[in-house]
Chain A
Amino acid sequence: MGSVGAKDVPVLLSPEGLRIDGRRVNELRPIKITAGALKHADGSAFVEWGANKVMAAVYGPREVHPRHLQQNTKAVIQCKYNMAAFSVDERKRPGLDRRSQEISKVIAEAFESVVFAEEFPRTSIDIYIEVLQANAGTRCAGLVAASVALADAGIPMADLLPAVAVGKAGGAIVLDLKKEEDNFGEADLPMALVPQSGRLVLLQMEGHMTREELATALDLGVQGCRGIYEVMKQALRDRYAVAPGPDGAA
C-alpha cells in the first residue's frame, strides 16, 4: 500500500482484465484444506492457499493458563498467530511482534462470536496458528485453518468461518490478493463471514477506497467466502465420511 519510494511496480492488471498470475478479478487462488493434519492436537488443519502454507492446531477445552484468565461462565478463547522466521523473503525475527498480537486478538474475537463458549465454563480453548510460508492473506488462511481445526476438535459453534482478503490492485477491486497485489496495490480488506447469518466477524482495511468501491469489495468478499466455505465443509467430509456398507447404509 503506497510503499514510499518503491520502484519497479509490476503491472497488476492487464488490459484484458487479467491479474499478475492470470486470474480474473473475482477468482480465488487454488485452495486445499486438510483436516486433522496433526496427530497430537485435539483438532488441526493444514491450509495450502496459493503460495501460503498455514498450520492450525486447537487444544481444549482444557485448564486455563494463566489461571487468572479463567471465567466462571464460559470458556476463554486464546489465539496465537505466529509467523515462522523462514516464512517470508527476509528472515523475520522470531517471536510475537505487534502485528501478530493484533491479528491474534481479532481472530480470537471472531471465534468468540461463533463458538458456544458457555458450554465449557472455567476452561480454555487454545488456537495456535503457524504461518510456514507466506504470500499475502495469511490471517485469512490462518482463520480458515483454525476454523476447520476447531470443528476437527469437536468444539460446538454456530458456523464455520470462511475468510478472504479483497483489495484494490491496478485500479480494480479484486478477490484474494497475492503478494505483489498486497505490496503494490491500493487497498487490502481482509474479512471473515458467518455464512448462515451473512454477517462479518472480522473486518480490517488499509489503503484507500471510495464508498462505492467498498460496497463492491464487500459483496465480492462475501461471495469469495461462500466459495471457501464449500472447500472447508468438503475437507471435514473427507476426514469424517464413513464408507457406505454393502447395503448402502453408512
Chain B
Amino acid sequence: MSGEVTAEILTTHVLDLAAQGKRLDGRGPDDYRKISLEPGFVSTADGSALARLGDTAVLAGIKLEPGKPFPDTPNAGVLTTNAELVPLSSPIFEPGPPQPGAIEVSRVVDRAIRAAEAIDLTRLCVTPGEKSWVCYVDVHVLDHGGNLIDAALLAAMGALSHATVPAKRFGIAESDYPLEVLHVPIECTFVRLGEAIVVDPTFDEERASQGRLTVATDETGRIVAMQKGLVGAFSPEDIKATVERAFQHGDRLRAIARDGAA
C-alpha cells in the first residue's frame, strides 16, 4: 500500500471491484472514509486544524501578519495559500522545490477559498493602500493516503473558522478578535474507475483511476471551483451527476469544518 509503484494486479482488482459497485476497503461508491477534524492543533498558529480522511492526514496553519495591500486592490487584505507535500508523508515525495502535484493542491484549494469569498478581504484592510493583514494559509500533508485536495481544503477551512486576528500583538487594536468566515467552500473529489465514479479515493484508487474530478461548492448552492486532474476523461453527463453528488456531501463536510466534530 502507498508504495512507489502500484502493482498491476492491485489496479486490476480495484477496477474489477468497482465494476461490481464495491471498493477495496468495503465502502460503497458514494461513501467517504471516516472524517475527523481537530481545530487548534498548533498553538503557535493563529488558527490551525488537523483533518483526517481515513489514513490521510493534513494539517493547516494560519498566520496573520501586517503587510501592504496589492496596488490594484488597495482596500483589501492579502490571502495566500501554500501546500507542502513533505517527504515524511509518502515514499513518492522527495525533498526539493514543490512538484506539480503540490502546486496543483495549493492552487485548487486557494481557488475555492478565493472564489467562494470565504474571507471578506476588505475586512482585512487596516489603512487603504498602506497597511493590511496578510493571511497565510499553509497546508502540510503529513500522511498521504489519497484525496489530498478534500482533506487540504477541509483543514484550511477548519483552521480559518477557528482563527484569531492577532491585532493586539501587532498593536493594531485593543484586543484580538476572531477572523470572520463568510462562506465555507467544500471540495469533493471523485475518480473514475472504469465506468464507476467513486468519491474520496484512496491512494491506490487514485493510481488505478482514469481521471479525477474535484467540485467545490458552498452553502448557498453555488459551484465555486472545479478541477479535472490525472489521465482520463469525463462526459458532460458524468460531470453533472458528480456535481449533484458533491452538493449532497457538501453540507456534512461543511458542518465538520465549522464545528470540528468527528
Q: A113-B233, A209-B223 are in contact. Are A201 and B122 (CB under 8 A)?
A: no
Q: A5-B76, A6-B73, A102-B100 are in contact. Are A205 and B225 (CB under 8 A)?
A: yes
Other 10 A-B pairs with CB < 8 A, given A105-B101, A113-B211, A205-B225: A98-B106, A98-B107, A199-B233, A201-B211, A201-B233, A206-B111, A207-B224, A208-B116, A211-B240, A211-B244
Chain A residues contacting B75 (CB-CB under 8 Å) are 4-5
Given contacts A3-B73, A99-B107, A202-B228, contact A214 B240 (CB under 8 A): yes
Q: Quick check: B227 and A204 within 8 Å, CB to CB?
A: yes
Instruction: Contact check, B239 vs A200: say whether CB atoms are below 8 A apart.
Output: yes
Chain B 218-239, CB-CB to A under 8 Å as 1, else 0, gives: 1001111111111111111011
CB neighbours (8 Å) of A112 from chain B are 231
Number of A-B contacts (CB under 8 A): 117
Contacts of B236 in A (CB 8 A): 198, 200, 215, 218-219, 222
Report if B190 contacts A (CB, 8 A). Answer: no
A113-B211, A200-B239 known; A206 and B115 CB under 8 Å?
yes
A113 to B238, CA, bound (A): 17
4 nearest A-B residue pairs (beta carbon) = A205-B226, A199-B233, A203-B228, A4-B76
Question: Which residues on A sit within 8 Å (CB–CB) of B233?
Answer: 113, 194, 197, 199-201
Q: What distance in Å separates the Cβ of B199 from its nearest Cβ neighbour in chain A?
A: 17
Partner of B234, one of A99, A200, A207, A215: A200
B interface footprint on A202-245 (CB within 8 Å = 1, 0 otherwise): 11111111110011001100100000000000000000000000
- B149 within 8 A of partner (CB): no
Contacts of B106 in A (CB 8 A): 98
Contact-residue size bin, chain A (C-beta under 8 Å from the other chain): 35 or more
Q: Which residues of A contact B (CB under 8 A)?
A: 1-6, 98-99, 101-102, 104-106, 109, 112-113, 189, 194, 197-211, 214-215, 218-219, 222
Q: Nearest Cβ in chain B — how far from A43, in angstroms? A: 21
Chain A, residue nearest B210 (CB): A113
A58 to B75, CA, bound (A): 45
B54 within 8 A of A: no
Q: A105-B100, A205-B223 are in contact. Are A2 and B228 (CB under 8 A)?
A: no
Query: Is A203 within 8 A of B227, CB to CB?
Result: yes
| A101–B227 alpha-carbon span in the complex (Å) | 15
B74 at the interface (CB under 8 A from A): yes
Check: B160 CB closer than 8 A to any chain A CB.
Answer: no
- What residue of chain B has the Cβ atom nearest to residue A114's Cβ? B233
Chain B contacts for A202, CB-based, 8 A: 228
Within 8 A of A (CB), among B76-125: 76, 98, 100-101, 103-104, 106-107, 111, 114-117, 121-122
